[in-house]
Amino acid sequence: MAEKISSTRRRHPKVEAGQRYGRLVALSFVRHEKGKGPYWLFRCDCGTERIVMEASVKSGNTKSCGCLSLELSSIRGKATATHGRSKTPEHISWLSMIQRCNWKDHPRFSEWGGRGITVCERWRKFENFYADMGDKPSPKHSIDRIDNSKGYFPENCKWSTNKEQARNRRSSVIVEFQGREMCLKEAAELAGVPYTRTWKRYVEYGWTLDQALNAPRGTWQ
C-alpha cells in the first residue's frame, strides 16, 4: 500500500507557477510521463521558453535553457573577459541573440537562424553591440527588430517592451489611421474599442477600417 501511495504522490507536480530555479521561472504544468515524472514549461531569463522535467530543475541539473552553459564555456569566457559585463541584462540579451541565430541546437533556432535571421559582423562582439544599443531602458525591455524580415544590425534594432514587440510581429495587420501607419491593435486602442471585435470585422468580414472601428456593436453584428 505504501508503494501505491508514493507512486500516486509522484504524479502531482511539486513545482508551482512563478517559482524560480536558477535562470528558469516556472510558467505552467505540461504533462506527466511514466517513469520520469512531471514536465513544466519554464521561461529563461534570456527570454527562451523550454519544457523541462521537474526533477531536473529541482535537483539543480538544469538551471537555464542552455545559455548558462554556453556562457560559461571557454569560448564565451574569452569573449567576455575584457568588457566585465557578462552578468548584465544587456549581455544576457546579446548572448541570447547570438545563440538563437547561430546555434542549430537552440530550442528556437528555427524561428531565427533557421529562417535566415542573422547577426551582423559588428555585433559578433558584445562591446560593439553595447556601444550601439546602450543600456536597457527598463527590465521590461528586450531587443526588437524594426523590420522582422531582416536581421540584427544597428539600424534595424531598438529596445522595446513586450507590448511594443507584439505590435511588430509578422502577423500584425498594418493600417493607416489618424494620418500614419500603425498596427490594427494600436488603432483599436486609440479608438477605444475592443481589438478582437475590430480584427474580426476588418480581417475576417472585410469591412472598411472606419466601419470596423466605429460601427455600433448591435448595428453590425
DSSP codes of every residue in 131-157: HHH-S-SSTTEEEEESSTTS-B-GGGE
Instruction: List the grid coordinates of 66.
Output: 542552455
Look at the pTM and tell me if it is higher than 0.85. no
Same-domain pairing of 140 and 198: no
pLDDT category of residue 10 using cuts at 50, 70 and 90: very low
Q: How many domains does the chain have?
A: 3
The last residue of a domain, from among 35, 64, 93 = 64
Q: Pick the most confident of 36-45, 80-89, 117-126, 197-206.
A: 117-126
- Using left for φ > 0, alpha for ψ between -120 and 50, and beta otherwise, residue 64 falls in beta
Same-domain pairing of 72 and 161: yes
Same-domain pairing of 124 and 36: no
Same-domain pairing of 78 and 101: yes
The last residue of a domain, from among 41, 64, 87 = 64
Beta bridge partners of 41: 28, 51
Indicate the average pLDDT of the chain. Answer: 80
Same-domain pairing of 181 and 151: no
Same-domain pairing of 84 and 56: no
Same-domain pairing of 131 and 78: yes
pLDDT tens-digit map of 113-170: 998 999 999 999 999 999 999 999 998 888 988 887 889 999 989 998 876 776 655 4
| Domain housing 137 | 68-166
Same-domain pairing of 60 and 75: no
The last residue of a domain, from among 64, 87, 105 = 64
pLDDT category of residue 172 using cuts at 50, 70 and 90: low
**Half-sphere exposure for 128 (CA within 13 Å, toward CB):** 11
Instruction: List the grid coordinates of 110.
Output: 528555427
Instruction: List the grid coordinates of 59.
Output: 535537483
